[in-house]
Structure 1
Amino acid sequence: MKKYGLNELRKMYLEFFESKNHLIMNSFPLVPRNDKSVLLINAGMTPLKPYFTGQEVPPRKRVTTCQKCIRTGDIENVGKTQRHGTFFEMLGNFSFGDYFKEEAIEWAWEFVTKVLELPEDRLYVSIYLEDDEAEKIWHEKIGLPKERIIRLGKEDNFWEHGVGPCGPCSEIHYDRGEEYGCGSPDCKVGCDCDRFMEFWNLVFTQFEKTEDGKYVPLEFPNIDTGMGLERLALLMQDVESIFDVDTIQALLQKVCEMADVKYKEDKNKDISIRLITDHIRSVSFMISDGILPSNEGRGYVLRRLLRRAARHGKLLGIEDKFLAKLCETVIEVSKDAYPELQEKKDYITKIITVEEDRFNETIDQGLGILKNYIQKLKDEGKKELSGENAFRLYDTYGFPIDLTIEILEESNLTVDEDGFNQEMEKQKTRAREARSESNYMGSEETVYNKLDAFLESKFVGYNDLISVSPITAITDEENVVEQLQKGNKGTIFVTETPFYATSGGQVADLGYITTDTGKFQVEDVVKIIGNKIGHIGVVVEGNIKVNQDATLVVDEANRKATAKNHSATHLLQKALRNVLGSHVEQAGSHVTHDKLRFDFTHFQPLTEEEIRKVEDEVNSKIMEGLNIETTEMSIDEAKKLGAMALFGEKYGSKVRVVNMGDYSIELCGGTHLSNSSEAGTFKIISETGVAAGVRRIEALTSNNAINYYKQLESLVKDFSKLLKVEPSMLAKKAEQLLEENKKINREIEKLKAKLSKDAAKDLLDNVVDIKGIKLLTANIEDQDVNGLRNLGDSLKQKLGEGVIVLTTSKGSKVNLVVMATDEAIKKGAHAGNLIREVAKVVGGGGGGRPNMAQAGGKNPDKINEALEKAKDVLETQIK
């Protein structure tokens, strides 16, 4: 049996099915589109769901893919076994109502035995126990002996997920030999050991499962197959596990080199080596698809994987940051199949470096918190850390439970693991509840799902803002309808439209659709799955009917203003990369007629100097009058030009390239100016952070920027008039006023201090004796907390030994200060405990040290009652 590399096998599979008239489609991004049932793409068929449901017409009825996937269901076992991993590639061939069981089985057998040349006597298949048709094909067409065709039940060989399309499946298994078996005489296909390895699953989607549990045959059955590329490589290379496959082994050996350890010499170290090897693959691919570390959703999955890998690096003795360097090996072995890895290399390594730095900071914080927990347990004579605290360490500081257990064991302490697991389950429940309800295929059910899947719309509005086209469909807010009357809200579909639909960050065009019988105001335009464009709005005159010819007119002024802002975002992105570095990538945008918002990857706030440089560069390119040209070309041609693409965007074979005088070259389907000078001017009005590693700039162009400058000019004039100086002297005048204000405040503080000293003499008359301790209570008017503290210090010097309780109020706010001398503390007085009880009387709370404490309240009417309470509390404190 010839040994093939993983990259060779991928190519062989795709080319084989291409020879069977399958369209090779590139892997979809790991971020699902229009699918709320999963956080990340987890199977080859997942991104193809719209083709299976009929919501979208496939580019061809036969398709083949190698899809990158992430599964984290068994994350706690990754590293502990040689089977588990989070990242894998799934090979698949799919038929959307074209061929069925016979072809799927025959081609699978041909690929396995003729192309891969796997020995037939080692191959077995399993089928669903009621699938006589599949057995007949395997036995009579393929010639497989019946003893090597195993019937299994629904749990093993029937694919279904709730209601909807489902069907039996047939799995191909390979006998790896007795050395991989469990030793049982009953060892056979279906056994949990590693001998009979299932490596290809052929799903025959032939039924529709109804709500009442019936299985109705589909008119056009589908084929959905899946074969793990790593698992196939394992078989073809005759190695023990996926971690011994050529490309993964290269990465694993790099881990060993960095840690200066050898694989398969130490069981515990092997766990860390495997975990790092797997997780860095997942992390690299996730970041290349635009996922950023965060504390929720897929960003949380990324952060968790990255931090687990970083921690296991520490367990192996790697002291320095190492993940970004390791990521370079991932890129090297996978870049031919996934060129986006190489294209985004600087960006990926930057994200990993920043996150590893953050982890190193939080792990140190977590260790400090854990030490405090340990000390508290010892002080209280307890032996077990609560599950809640263990989970807080895990969730907030990235502390895995096994690390917490390990550190506690060193102090002969344990963890409430059941309590920890309960907290974990609560988090999973919150995550599940946070996801939107969806149908069995994960996409939202809307009125648009009722439209004919073959209905399509074409956008013709790059150059023309008016077009005439027949109305092909109308919906109201719940149903597909024949017409809309005046006042009715709904959505209109036509064959060709000049209206731009919201996408790529650019909002939709506005305007009107008119027919012989009515007029419809377009308030929004949306892209519907299956290449449909829906015009959402309301009938303002008469009625609108299906099949009428309609005149569609786009609001030209609105379109032009939006185009100015959109073209400016392209200039902005290029300027940001020039000023800040190549790690800058677009993380989102929102372009309207009145302003632009641009989110980008960067890891610290921009300085005033950086903002000025970016703004100046954009304005210089506007003034240069760069010609803006749009061209359609192949994706390969666009890449050769150096065109930037949006993260996670799936591009077809033909793309639209927007070139601004060779300064900015981007793939973009939006509407633009013909020359940069039409933007007029560019002004950044804000720069803020929106997420970890993501900054946001808001900016204006053209008349909106000019109006902004006018408003600023008006403000300057108003202040100049108010301060009676020329605009050029405003800053100097402001400095002068601030200095005068400081001087006045210093004088006020001096006067207050003098008044406090004078008042202190009179207040000593209020001293009472509580069990031999002097207590002075007083309400002081027109003071702040600082004033109370200063007065308290002055009174302490005059009082000698004792306790002082002072209050003051302003409006509905009450401030309290309590001080106790050393002698009073020795006899039991405690300022912090005393003020806690006193503050309750005025509706507040607070605390502090034995010698000084302060608090606040919100009920000034009860101040006298609070001061009386102080006497009672002190009396209980004195021994």
Structure 2
Amino acid sequence: MSMSSKEIRQKFLDYFESKGHLILPSAPLVPQNDPSLLWINAGMAPFKPYFNGRATPPKTRIVTSQKCIRTNDIENVGKTDRHHTFFEMLGNFSFGDYFKEEAIEWAYNFLVEEMEFEKDRIWISIYKDDDEAFEIWKEKIGIPSERIVRMGKDENFWQIGTGPCGPCSEIHYDLGAEFGCSDNCEFGCDCDRYREVWNLVFTQYDYTEEGKYDPLPNKNIDTGMGLERLASIIQQVDSNFETDLFMPIIEFVSQHTEYDYQSSEEVKSAYRVIADHIRSVTLAIGDGVLPSNEGRGYIIRRVLRRAVRYAQKLDLELPFLYRIVPVVVDIMGGEYTEIVEKEDQIKKAIKSEEIKFQETLDQGMEILDELIDELEQEGKEIIPGQDVFTLYDTYGFPKELTEEIAKENGYEIDVEGFEEAMEEQRARARAAQKDHDWSSAEIELFKEIRSEIDTPKFVGYTKPECETEVVKIIKDNELVDNLSAGEEGQVILTQTPFYAESGGQIGDKGALLNDDITVTVVDTQEKAELISHQIVIEAGELSVGDKLTAKIQTDQRLHIRRNHTATHLLHQTLKDVLGEHVDQSGSLVTPNRLRFDFTHFEAVSDKELEEIEDQVNKVIRRNLNVEVLETTLEEAEEMGAAALFNEKYEDEVRVIGIGDYSLELCGGTHVDATGEISLFKISSEGGIAAGIRRIEAVTGKEALNYINQQENILKQAASALKTTPDELVDRIDKLQSKIKDLEEEVTKFKNKLADSQADEVVSDLEEINGINVILEKVEGLDAEGLRTMGDNIKADLDSGIIILASNLGEKVLFVSLVTDDLVEKGYNAGQIIGEVARVAGGGGGGRPDMAQAGGSQPNKLDAALEKARELIAAE
């Protein structure tokens, strides 16, 4: 029989629902509160808390079709019939309920009764010592003993470190001799004849630190079956890529390229890479992961850029991959509705990334080709790590992409050298980060203090001042008993209203006072979980044990509270206006302004910024109450409170709720009602990294000051142009039109100048190596004029090479042209001009028949032209 992948998936879920299983939707690809995983990579991954007993499942029997991403074998994707970066894993799970007998019986019956597998084609592998599984398969199911193969721990025992583990049994299907590597192919061969279909894991032991396998009191079942592989068997096709999960994509691509899918293995591989990778990227972006240079975003960027490279191999007109998204949505949107809801966002994100990569891919490939040519000439086989790093850092080439291209050409990369260059970059970044660059000795000191004293109490959420006592004083990284007037240091108190910098909110300032002592607190930081007050002694002498009043600067705190609450409103509004893919990636809250970094794939338009600003101000005017709730992390998640994926939270957390509008985990200080913010004004929006945007804004009085400043600038601009602010735009339009007319006149003049000079230059023609060559310096021509002059000269030459240089005072411009007959003989304008420009402290390139370049050292212009003579003579 033949079934669609949708029918196969649904039959699986329905079958196990009939056996008492709860059908759960697929978990997102991004693991929730599991820092050990980059992606959900197996059906059981979302259920780890149920397997290890940390949480109680909603039911002891569960069945899912789970989205998964694995990229550890990405170089094999496209080359084999069954490697994928994205796949769906069908799985049924038992948490202390049924065990081997039911798991085996149901798996067998599903394949035979629902999928109509032929019984005599089914082969079984089991762990070598699992006699119980052998007896079930042989006696209860009726599989002949010769088709039950015992295998070792590597093949049929599931274990990762200490903890729950157990033997597994794999179901294989014999596809027939035509799929084998020979007529004598036997079970266990790496070829495709005996296709692994389903893995049943029997979690029955607890592996201890002492190396013992103790029986678990509650045994679990974890199974996994790839939908793609099952569909290839049911649909009777040669590979996973010929199933209905991939073929609509392949057929769509085939409509836009002249290369037929079956024309060659290389072409087939390109089709498959594109089909696989676009599924991964679509589903990942649908779950909120945008291409970037960090973490999951880097993986998605790498996958997408690999697909772009293979699209180029099919001569597809880029950007192209984003056009495949609707096809993926049509195939998978019924099961994974998030990609239906976010289809437009996914297309925009992919298109944006394609355009960015396309801008640098050709240049990077040219550099890589040159590197490989140099290695070939030198007889070397390893691309230096520094070169790999330059391609990554400057041209956006993932290390893995360089490595893959190198392998295709028979070369390797210096991975260790690349990592060293990466570490040097990180070191430079750390050195440049002056803020909070605490020494290890200082941190160790604070850890020691923390072990000796009770944890100081923070009372600043509700009190702007409190009575306190000095516990420790630190000066120059050493504990001291006192500080005198004029000295600086750090102090730890028994309790404090001072908020230590955290979550983007800067630390409080203020004072420590009593009748004899005046101390200014210039900053507050958290070090080793202690609140450190950075202080200056204004009067008196401060000693350990002194009792004082600690007072924060209430005006500063008020402005900080306004800005911090405004960041929460902004975060939610960005999701509402731009899409749920928006996530916070950084923030800064000071008294004067706020800064909010977020994931987004393109610049925010003026219209969107206006809508964002308007919506935040509407919420401010609603004067919503801001409520603080202290609860458990689990309860906060159930409430739907927003959290940062990379943030580590304690079991007890603080939730900030703003009316019915926003709910976030946050330890910062906030206003009591949104009306206190008064006014919100965006001052700037821009990109700070690939896939990361930044909005800066002001609130309250600072917002009013900003508007007044902009108004004054507008008045000054109007006055300078002798008009009114209302008529300023019209005045600018007229001036721009006039400037355009003048520029056209200047261009005409330059072209006439270029024409007249061209006639003079032709008379200076010289012959080098039997070739007509013109090497000439001209004065005052810009790039366009220089090209025009070169074209005019070339039109008068039947055969020749032209190199012109224009001295512009602080810089020099070059243009090189080669007639078609000489291009055919191997002369290349781009290569010539690149070396010529380097002599003058610059660089450039272009096509074989025309190229241009620039230099920063006009005094070396003569030497540069002499270099041109040498290059032409050496050909």
- Using the size of structure 1 for normalisation, the TM-score is 0.59
Structure 2 partner of 1:706: 701
The alpha-carbon deviation at position 607 of structure 1 amounts to 7.9
Equivalent of 2:411 in 417, 436, 442: 417
Describe how 1:376-387 pairs up with structure 2 within 5 A. 382=378, 384=380, 386-387=382-383
Instruction: Give distance in 1, aligned partners of 2:456 and 2:96.
Output: 33
Contact in 2 for aligned 1:124/1:149 (Cα 8 Å): yes
Residue 20 (structure 1) aligns with: 19
Deviation at 1:592, TM superposition (A): 7.8
- The equivalent residue for 2:250 is 252
Alignment correspondent of 2:76: 77
Q: CA deviation at 1:850?
A: 7.1
Match of 1:246, SS?
coil
Q: 1:509 to 1:313 in 2, by over 3 A?
A: farther
Q: Give the superposition deviation at 1:122.
A: 1.8
Residue in 1 that maps onto 2:102:
103
Alpha-carbon deviation of 1:667?
8.4
Question: C-alpha offsets along residues 168-206 of structure 1, whole Å, 9 cap, x if unaligned?
Answer: 001111111222123253612x22121211111111111
Counterpart of 2:158 in structure 1 is 159
1:356 to 354, 357, 372: 354
Match among 446, 454, 457 for residue 488 of structure 1: 454
How much does 1:142 deviate? Answer: 2.3
1:358 and 1:76, CA in 2 relative to 1: closer, same or farther beyond 3 A? same
Structure 1 residue 4: Cα displacement: 1.7
Match of 1:694 in 2: 692
Corresponding residue number in structure 2 for 1:391: 388
What's the offset of the Cα at 1:596? 6.1
Alignment RMSD (CA, Å) = 5.6
* CA gap 1:583/1:260 in 2 versus in 1, 3 angstroms: farther
1:242 Cα deviation (Å)?
Answer: 0.4
Can you list the C-alpha shifts for 1:108-156, whole angstroms capped at 9, x where unaligned?
Answer: 2232223223222221211101011111222233233322221111111
**Conserved in 1, the CA contact under 8 Å of 2:85 and 2:276?**
yes
Work out the CA distance in 2 between the residues paired with 1:728 and 1:849. Answer: 41
Cα distance in 2, alignment partners of residues 128 and 693 from structure 1: 47
Kindly tell me: are residues 166 and 345 of structure 1, through their superposed partners in 2, closer, same or farther at Cα, counting changes over 3 Å? same
> Tell me, which stretches of 5 or more residues in structure 1 are unaligned?
432-476, 479-483, 493-498, 500-506, 513-518, 527-535, 540-556, 630-642, 650-655, 717-725, 736-816, 818-831, 836-846, 854-879
Cα deviation, residue 316, structure 1: 0.8
1:321-377: per-residue Cα shift (whole Å, max 9, x none)? 210001221111101110110111111111111111111111122144346547867
Judge conservation of contact 1:659–1:666 (CA < 8 Å) in 2.
yes
Partner of 1:772: none
Q: Which amino acid aligns with 2:333?
A: K
Secondary structure (helix, strand or coil) at the match of 2:26 reads coil
Secondary structure at the aligned position of 1:8 is classed as: helix
Decide whether aligned partners of structure 1 residues 692 and 333 sit closer, same or farther in structure 2, where only a CA change above 3 A counts: same
* Residue pair 1:23, 1:64 contacting (<8 A) in 2 also: yes
Distance 1:520 1:711 in 2: 38
Q: Which SS does the other structure have where 1:247 is aligned?
A: coil
Identity %: 44
User: Structure 1 560/48 Cα, relative in aligned 2: closer, same or farther at 3 Å?
Assistant: farther
Whether the 8 Å contact between 1:386 and 1:415 is mirrored in structure 2 is no
Cross-structure match for 1:65: 64
Map 1:190-589; keep pairs closer than 5 Å.
Answer: 190-370=188-368, 373=371, 382=378, 384=380, 386-388=382-384, 391-392=388-389, 395=392, 397=395, 417-420=411-414, 488-489=454-455, 568=566, 572=570, 585-588=582-585
Alpha-carbon distance between aligned partners in 2 of 1:178 and 1:678, rounded to the nearest angstrom: 77
Give the direction of change, closer, same or farther, for the CA distance of 1:669–1:366 in structure 2 (3 Å limit): closer
Note the C-alpha offset of 1:38.
3.2
Q: Tell me if the contact between 1:586 and 1:646 (Cα under 8 Å) persists in the aligned partners.
A: no
Deviations 1:608-649 (Å, cap 9, x if unpaired)?
A: 8975664355335544678999xxxxxxxxxxxxx9999999
Partner Cα distance (2:309, 2:153) in 1: 41
Shift of residue 212, structure 1, vs aligned partner? 3.3
Per-residue Cα deviation, 1:289-331 (whole angstroms, up to 9, x for no partner): 2212223322222111111111111111112321000122111
Aligned partner letter, 2:81: Q
Aligned equivalents of 2:138, 2:375: Cα separation in 1: 68
Residue aligning to 2:768: none
1:158 deviates by: 0.6
Residue identity in the other structure for 1:5: S
Q: Distance in 2 between matches of 1:731 and 1:157?
A: 77
Residues 737-790 of structure 1, C-alpha deviations (whole Å, 9 max, x = no match):
xxxxxxxxxxxxxxxxxxxxxxxxxxxxxxxxxxxxxxxxxxxxxxxxxxxxxx
Structure 2: gaps of 5 or more residues: 426-446, 466-493, 503-527, 532-554, 628-639, 647-654, 722-809, 811-837, 842-855, 863-875
**Match of 1:310, SS?**
helix
Q: What letter is aligned with 1:585? A: V
SS in 2 for 1:311: helix
Given the superposition, is the C-alpha separation of residues 152 and 105 from structure 1 closer, same or farther in structure 2, using an over 3 Å criterion? same
Q: Give 1:51 shift.
A: 1.9
1:682-831 map, 5 Å: 682-684=680-682, 687-699=685-697, 701=699, 705-706=700-701
Which one-letter code corresponds to 1:304 in the other structure? R
Amino acid at match of 2:109: E
Q: Which amino acid aligns with 2:272?
A: R
**For each residue in 1:563-612, what CA deviation from the matched residue of structure 2 results, as whole angstroms up to 9, or x when unmatched?**
97787557646866898x66983445769897865444445666889756
SS at match of 2:256: helix
Aligned residue number for residue 782 of structure 1: none
SS in 2 for 1:259: coil
Residue 475 of structure 2: aligned partner: none
- Residue 223 of structure 1 and its aligned partner are, at CA, apart by 1.3
Question: Secondary structure, in 3 states, of the residue corresponding to 2:28?
Answer: coil
Give the length in aligned residue pairs. 618
- The SS at the match of 1:263 is coil
Deviations 1:696-751 (A, max 9, x none): 224455xxx236757999x99xxxxxxxxx9999999999xxxxxxxxxxxxxxxx
Q: Which amino acid aligns with 1:187?
A: E
Distance in 1 (alpha carbons) for counterparts of 2:594 and 2:49:
33
Task: Quote how far apart the aligned CAs of 1:43 are.
Answer: 1.1
Residues 394 and 168 of structure 1: is their aligned pair in 2 closer, same or farther, counting only changes over 3 Å? farther
How far apart, in 1, do the equivalents of 2:185 and 2:715 lie? 95
Higher mean displacement: 62-71 or 256-265:
256-265
Displacement after TM superposition at 1:225 (Å) = 0.9
Change (3 A) 1:691 1:240: same
Partners of 1:685 and 1:700 within 8 A in 2 = yes
Moved more, 334-343 or 212-221: 212-221
The change in CA–CA distance for 1:700 and 1:254 in structure 2 (over 3 A counts) is: same
Instruction: Please tell me whether residue 126 in structure 1 is matched to residue 125 in structure 2.
Output: yes
1:6 maps to: 5
CA distance in 2, matches of 1:491, 1:20: 55
**What is aligned with 1:141?**
140
Give the 3 Å change call, closer, same or farther, for CA 363–731 of structure 1 in structure 2.
closer
- Specify the SS of the correspondent of 2:300: helix
Q: Return closer, same or farther for 1:728/1:306 CA change in 2, 3 Å cut-off.
A: closer
The separation in 2 between residues aligned to 1:399 and 1:616, in whole angstroms, is 40
Distance 1:54-1:387 versus aligned 2 partners, 3 A rule: same
Q: What SS does structure 2 have at the residue aligned with 1:488?
A: coil
